[in-house]
Amino acid sequence: MPQLLKHIDAIAREKDRDVLFVHFENYEHENADAESYHLRQNLMEWLEQRQINFAPCMGIEQPGVIESYSGDLYIDVPFDEAHPVYQMVSEHLEDAEGEMKIPGVLFFVLSLETALEIEADREEFLNLNQAHDDDDEFSGRVN
């Protein structure tokens, strides 16, 4: 069934804060035998058991690029090292040096500042393309 998934940068702008997300290397959405599929399922179960909200999300939006879902998960926890739920998630995914504990699972934070810059770049890209399209309107005449 088709789903409309938000890009992680759109979620940051919507929440008006830095956001956390997890990426699974070599994720195969339809392949229940793939290791990445099981890693994702295990993490979702772990989050559910602790009543930590999460949602599927797309990566960072790139204007003019259509991509398929790569298994990314937005984790609805503030990026705050003093927040107990953030600490729990971080300790589950990272060691004391910030290295990933689970091979193939990458834990990221996207800052609101970066999300706003991405939006500004996207707007600039769309405006440039619109201006270019307006210049190239077909007049109906063939020279």
Would the CA dihedral through 5, 1, 75, 106 be positive or negative?
A: negative
pLDDT at 36: 80
Residues of the chain with pLDDT under 50: 138-139, 141, 143
pLDDT at 85: 98
pLDDT at 35: 83
pLDDT at 138: 47
Measure the CA–CA gap between 46 and 25, rounded to whole angstroms. 19
Cα 4 to Cα 1, 55, 117: the distances in Å are 10, 12, 23
**What type of residue sits at position 92?**
H
- Pick from 89, 91, 105, 97: which is nearest to 39 by CA? 105
pLDDT at 137: 53
For residue 125, give every residue at least 6 positions away whose Cβ sits within 8 Å of its Cβ, in sequence order, or none: 63, 64
